[in-house]
Amino acid sequence: MSNSKLNILTKGFFKENPTLILVLGCCPTLAVTTSVVNALGMGAATTFVLLMSNMLISALKNVIPDKVRIPSYIVIIATFVSMIDLLIQGFLPSLSASLGVFIPLIVVNCIVLGRAEAFANKNTVFDSLLDGLGMGIGFTIALTLIGGIREILGSGSFLGFQLIPAEYNMLIFVLAPGAFLVFGFVMAAVRYIVNKREEKKKHCAAE
């Protein structure tokens, strides 16, 4: 894989992380990160939708008239969301119960529509696939990071394995305020690291 293709894939991981840098898709980030399992489930579902809609929209970019492109995108996205929603309801009913309304709400996740508008309707199918996959993985990384911190601090467990005895658990981290606080601090930390790395790169290039 050439370097530029690799870059399309990996830029979503950290440098242009949809959640932590671009601040898109905040609602699911706050709502479903009470545990790592929920975070991974949401990440996977969103990645699926992102991948499929990016590919289809890119394939149809010359067919869809410009004037009705946003409604068309929404229909395409909503179709894939309904598919994944029904699949999860059928095969993973407990995950479906804990993610609740946030699965159908992937439709209005700004990341999905944002990538369609900003990337998929201008690029090739393969590039759109890479972009969707990269952004999806970046979203999953952010969710898992936040979900991991919240689960460890709030329930004392990781992926359901108890690490810390119950009397040391801080309930607030699995509740609403904990979501905002952990998201805020994780965002600050990741931005700090990414900025440092960028500065270093610039510094090296200058020399």
- Footprint of other proteins (CB under 8 A): 23-24, 26-27, 30-31, 70-71, 74-75, 78-79, 81-82, 85-86, 101, 104-105, 107-110, 113, 167, 170-173, 175-181, 183-185, 187-188, 191-192
d(CA 111, CA 174): 25
Task: Please report how close the Cβ of residue 9 comes to other proteins at its closest, in angstroms.
Answer: 25
Nearest distance in Å: CB 2, other proteins: 34
For residues 92 and 105, which CB has a smaller minimum distance to other proteins in the complex?
105
Could you tell me if 38 and 147 are in contact, meaning their C-beta atoms sit under 8 angstroms apart? yes
Q: Nearer to other proteins by C-beta: 36 or 179?
A: 179
AA identity, residue 142:
A
Q: Quote the radius of gyration of the chain (alpha carbons, Å).
A: 18
Nearest in space to 55 (alpha carbons), one of 131, 4, 139: 131
HSE at residue 164, side-chain half, CA atoms within 13 A, is: 15
Find the shortest distance in angstroms from Cβ 105 to other proteins: 5
Closest approach of other proteins to the CB of residue 202, in Å: 17
Inter-residue contact 52 to 135 (CB < 8 Å): no
Residue closer to other proteins by CB (options 124, 162) is 162
